Amino acid sequence: MEASAISAITAMVAPGVLITTGALLSNGLVNIYGAVNDRMRDLDLECRRLITGPDGTLRPAAQLPPGEAERVSEIRQQLPLLLRRHQLIHYAILLIFAGLAVLVLSVITIAAAVTRHSDAVAIAALALVLAGTVIILGGVVFAARALALSRNAIEYEVRRTLSLGAGR
């Protein structure tokens, strides 16, 4: 029985490493998710302040001073880009969490397979490890897509700012 317990613990090492890696990855993504969330809230608030008149009414772009109208235009261009990035990071985190749950389940299944000496349960454990890994990989794909999009919003703002007053 003691050898079975040691074998179970040994067999759990690989999924344990994957769980740790996934947890670190998801933690980083949660921080990025929060930063994008905060940026969107700041831009939204800035836009609302710019378009709200002193009497509390909303002003159309035509009634704004040129600098404020330009900034409102920039914000309205950036928010959908940030919202898409936020959504991709959201999906990435959810997939990684789901993969982690499957990997934790695989560890429990590995313990059952080793202690029961069951090939069928061992195959189920292997399937769970593979499934959890593939699900985490899906989360990494969403995170990579979000990273690819992350440049769009800031690049737009900087290029737009650099073009202001050019040729005048």
With respect to residue 7, please indicate whether it lies within any of the assigned structural domains: yes
Q: What is the pLDDT of residue 1?
A: 45
With respect to residue 146, please indicate whether it lies within any of the assigned structural domains: yes
User: What is the average pLDDT across 25-49?
Assistant: 96
- Predicted confidence (pLDDT) per residue in 139-157, tens digit: 999 999 999 888 887 888 8
With respect to residue 108, please indicate whether it lies within any of the assigned structural domains: yes
Q: Token match 């990989």: residue? A: 137
With respect to residue 49, please indicate whether it lies within any of the assigned structural domains: no
With respect to residue 15, please indicate whether it lies within any of the assigned structural domains: yes
Number of domains in the chain: 1
Q: What is the pLDDT of residue 167?
A: 57
Residues 108, 110, 114, 117, Cα dihedral to 10°? 100
pLDDT confidence of 6, banded at 50, 70, 90? Answer: low
What does the alpha-carbon distance between residue 130 and residue 109 come to, in Å, rounded to a whole number?
A: 13
Whole-Å CA distances, 161 to 20, 44, 83, 84, 118: 43, 19, 21, 22, 66
Percent of the chain with pLDDT over 70: 93
- Check pLDDT > 80 for residue 165: no
Q: What is the pLDDT of residue 16?
A: 87
With respect to residue 119, please indicate whether it lies within any of the assigned structural domains: yes
Residues of the domain holding 94? 2-38+83-163
Q: Which residues contact 72 (CB under 8 A, 6 or more apart)?
A: 47, 50, 51, 61, 64
Percent of the chain with pLDDT over 90: 68
Q: Taking the CA atoms of the chain, what radius of gyration do you get in angstroms?
A: 25
User: Is the CB of residue 14 less than 8 Å from the CB of residue 129?
Assistant: yes
- Predicted confidence (pLDDT) per residue in 55-92, tens digit: 989 998 889 999 999 999 999 999 999 999 999 999 99
Helix (H) or strand (E) holding 132: helix 119-163
Q: What is the pLDDT of residue 150?
A: 85
With respect to residue 69, please indicate whether it lies within any of the assigned structural domains: no
With respect to residue 26, please indicate whether it lies within any of the assigned structural domains: yes
User: What is the average pLDDT across 87-115?
Assistant: 95
